[in-house]
Amino acid sequence: MKRLITTLTLLLLVVGITTAQRAKYVFYFIGDGLGINHIYGTELYNAAVHPQMPNQGRMSFSTFPLRTYITNHSSSSLVTDSSAAGTALASGVKTVNGYMGVDENLNSAKTIAELAAERGMKVGVATNVGVNHATPSAFFAHDKSRSNYLSLFEQLIASDVDFAAGSTILHKRSGKTPAELADVAREVGIEVVQDPQSAAKVENKRVMLLSPTLDEQALKYAVDCEETDPTIVDYTAAAIEYLERESDKNGFFLMVEAGHIDYCAHDNDAVTTFEEVNHLSESVQLALDFYAKHPKQTLIIVTADHETSGLSLGYKDYFMYPELLAYQRCSMVALTAKMRAMRDRGDTSWQSMVELLKVELGLWSEVELEAEDEKLIKECFENDFVNTATEVVSLYNHNEKLASVAIEVLNKRAKIKWVSLDHTGMQVPLYVKGAGLKYFGDCYDNTDVPKAIAEAMGTTLEN
């Protein structure tokens, strides 16, 4: 009898521990293009530029108990794109660049979000780029191309995603506008709203949160935001409020993509990138606030799909001056718009341009320029702004060459350099905290991450 009681006690103890450690609330943050230097660069920038920030401006996830790095090559290249990396992070399978939620033989791969839904968990997918862009789509869609936006959208509305958020519905080649596609979502019973507060309050219904204007970049870059502009932080807050209220004993799974990081890193716009990383950190802080209420049942993962543009912190002379970045007041995209407005009103004087660059980047006024920098900017002004309107075409933006050159000069003064306008094959960071942490210790590759999440949830992800 005594032996039976001991065995029963042990059994109860084991069950108790296992249940306690099971991840009931899963937060999966993906910084698109977020390399290790994007994170550390942001921390150096914060320490120099935002001294009032708590903890010297370190990331909210900087002290997670697991901090490691993972490989991220696709099956077609050592340098992945977001759809192959998204597929790996969502389904644990390697695939070809451009493929979406399918393996290299085009077989659909089950995603961790689909697995969560099967287990009765509520599911949220939020991003600050298009809701059917590559990274979010990796969690609900299966297609041979990341560019089949109509198909990705149709799969979203047919999926088990309860809360979907993004700047717009991407619609290229669909023959429909984002507003028309939003109506298609309404027809299947999804509540489509355009402000985070309303999205958070939707009850007993699926919800799709979009931006007020439905432009692809209607969610402004963090550096360009006014106090009232919605951001990924607001989207994350709305998702948590909705999922916390709507979920039952089975909990929820939330993927949040900080997608803008990739956009401005493709432009080589350091300040804009760092402020986007700050928004990711604030979003993770919301998950940490939730964790404080449910510490035994909450799992938080922060990782990236790939590194964008080969950011280098320092490049010669053994110095860095991140404090000089304090004077950049707007993104390269916003600076481009201001330059175009000047040209449109017929103002192409050098004096006006110097004024603009003083105000927006602190050039000359706060940041001393070497003769060669000034020559570079002046020549670019004459050749590419006055005589022609030359653009630098990056993956997502068409910027004025002069805006790109002026920001490159500022970055150079701060001793920050970029290798390219595209992705690199660098390993990416992985931070983990909370329930099921032990399953992540062996993560070496991005395909290991969703499998570890499944184990933390008490199941397995098989593909």
Nearer to Zn ion, 262 or 276 (CB): 262
The structure tokens listed for 207 are 């919800």
**Residue 110 vs 260, nearer CB to Zn ion:** 260
List strand residue ranges (DSSP E) for 286-341, in order: 298-304, 307-308, 311-313
Which residues, at least 6 apart from 422, have a Cβ–Cβ distance to it below 8 Å? 79, 266, 308, 309, 395
| Complex with Zn ion: residue 21 or 72, whichever CB lies closer | 72
Contact 169, 182 (CB under 8 A): yes
The nearest distance, CB 112 to Zn ion, in angstroms, is: 22
The nearer residue to Zn ion, 234 or 262, going by C-beta atoms, is 262
- Residue 134 or 237: which CB sits closer to Zn ion? 134
Between 262 and 373, whose beta carbon lies closer to Zn ion? 262
CA angle (138, 139, 144) in 5-degree steps: 35
Residue from 85, 65, 15 nearest 447 by CA:
85
Residue 422 C-beta: closest distance to Zn ion, Å = 7
CA torsion, points 215, 220, 224, 226, in degrees to nearest 10? 100
One character per residue 236-265, x = contact with Zn ion (rule: CB under 5 A): --------------------------x---
**Smallest separation, CB 327 to Zn ion (Å):** 27
Distance from C-alpha of 48 to C-alpha of 56, rounded to nearest angstrom: 9
User: What's CA 437's distance to the chain center, in Å?
Assistant: 22
* Tokens representing residue 278 in the block: 């700050």
Distance (Å, whole) CA 224 – CA 275: 10
Cα distance between residue 410 and residue 367, in whole Å: 8
DSSP summary character for residue 366? T
276 binds Zn ion (CB under 5 A): no
Nearer to Zn ion, 296 or 398 (CB): 398
Residue 33 CB, shortest distance to Zn ion, in Å, is 5
Token couple for 30: 């993906």
Min dist CB 268 to Zn ion, Å, is 12
Nearer to Zn ion, 262 or 400 (CB): 262
Tell me if residue 363 falls in helix, strand or coil: strand
CB of 82 to Zn ion, least distance (A): 6
In degrees, to the nearest 5, what angle opens at C-alpha 437 toward C-alphas 432 and 438? Answer: 135
Comparison of 162 and 262: residue with beta carbon closer to Zn ion: 262
162 vs 257, beta carbon nearer Zn ion:
257
According to DSSP, residue 437 is labeled G
The number of angstroms, rounded, from the C-alpha of 62 to the middle of its chain's C-alpha atoms is 17
| 442: exposed, middle or buried (Cβ count in 10 Å: 0-12, 13-18, 19+) | exposed
Shortest distance in whole angstroms from residue 394 CB to Zn ion: 9
Q: Burial letters for 241-253: b for 16+ Cβ neighbours within 10 Å, e otherwise?
A: bbbbebbeeebbb
Strand partners, 109: none
Residue among 262 and 269 whose Cβ is closer to Zn ion? 262
Gyration radius (Cα) of the chain, Å: 23
**With contact defined as beta carbons under 8 Å apart, do 391 and 400 qualify?**
yes
Find, among 422, 440, 419, the residue nearest to 431 by Cα.
440
- CB nearer to Zn ion: give 145 or 365: 145
Decide: helix, strand or coil at residue 453.
helix
Residue nearest to Zn ion (CB): 262
CA distance 389 to 402: 9
Per-residue binding string, Zn ion, 203-242, x by CB under 5 A, is ----------------------------------------
Q: How far is the CB of 30 from Zn ion (least distance, A)?
A: 12
CB of 147 to Zn ion, least distance (A): 14
CB of 424 to Zn ion, least distance (A): 11
# of chain residues touching Zn ion (CB under 5 A) = 1
Shortest reach from residue 308's CB to Zn ion, in Å:
5
Q: Kindly identify the residues of this chain, within the stretch 328-387, that bind Zn ion according to CB under 5 A.
A: none
CB of 84 to Zn ion, least distance (A): 12
Hey, is 299 helix, strand or coil? strand
Per CB under 5 A, residues contacting Zn ion are 262
